[in-house]
Every structure is written in C-alpha cells, then in structure tokens.
Amino acid sequence: MIENELLFLGLLAAGPKHGYEIKLQLEEDLGPNIGLQIKSIYYPLQKMESTGLIQKEVASREGRFPEKYVYRITPQRKNKI
C-alpha cells in the first residue's frame, strides 16, 4: 500500500467524506506540515475502490450537475484499522 492510500484511509477512518473534502484536508491540513503535493485524488480513490479498501456511494445530484460521491472504508476493512 502506498503512502497516499494510508493518508486517505486515515482521513476516512473518521467517517465518510466527499472527494473534495478529502482533497481540502490533504491540501490545507496535511500538505503544509508534511510537504505533500497530490495532483489528483480520484485515481488513488478509484484504485482503492477496485481493491475493496473503500466504497463509493452516490450522495446527491443537483440538476444537470454530475453526481456527487461519498467515500467510506468498507466494513470488513474498518474492523482491521
């Protein structure tokens, strides 16, 4: 598991989050303190979803805008954290 995935799991351990929330927390809270620069969070999230670490659920859809997703740790993985 790469470091980014561990960071994402740590953030999601507190509860489900939108991708944008994850990105903001990484950029504003963690980035300045540890020198982290992540260009895209969605590829690692997609990879983690395909391996069963997290699951993605549709949170909402407003008008013509794309669906918004919430990411959470899968129940079987949460028991191991």
pLDDT of the residue at 23: 87
Neighbour-count burial for 13-34, b at 16+ CB within 10 Å, e otherwise:
eeebbebeebbebbeeeeeeee
11: which 2 tokens? Answer: 């953030």
In angstroms, the first-to-last Cα distance of the chain is 14
**All structural domains of the chain with their residue ranges:** 3-78
Q: Which tokens go with 7?
A: 């960071």
CATH of domain 3-78: 1.10.10.10
* DSSP 8-state secondary structure symbol assigned to residue 67: P
pTM of the model: 0.76
Note down pLDDT in tens along the chain; length 81 residues: 467 788 889 889 999 999 889 888 888 877 666 666 677 888 889 999 999 999 999 887 777 878 889 999 998 765 555
Tokens of 30: 């963690």
DSSP state of 65: S
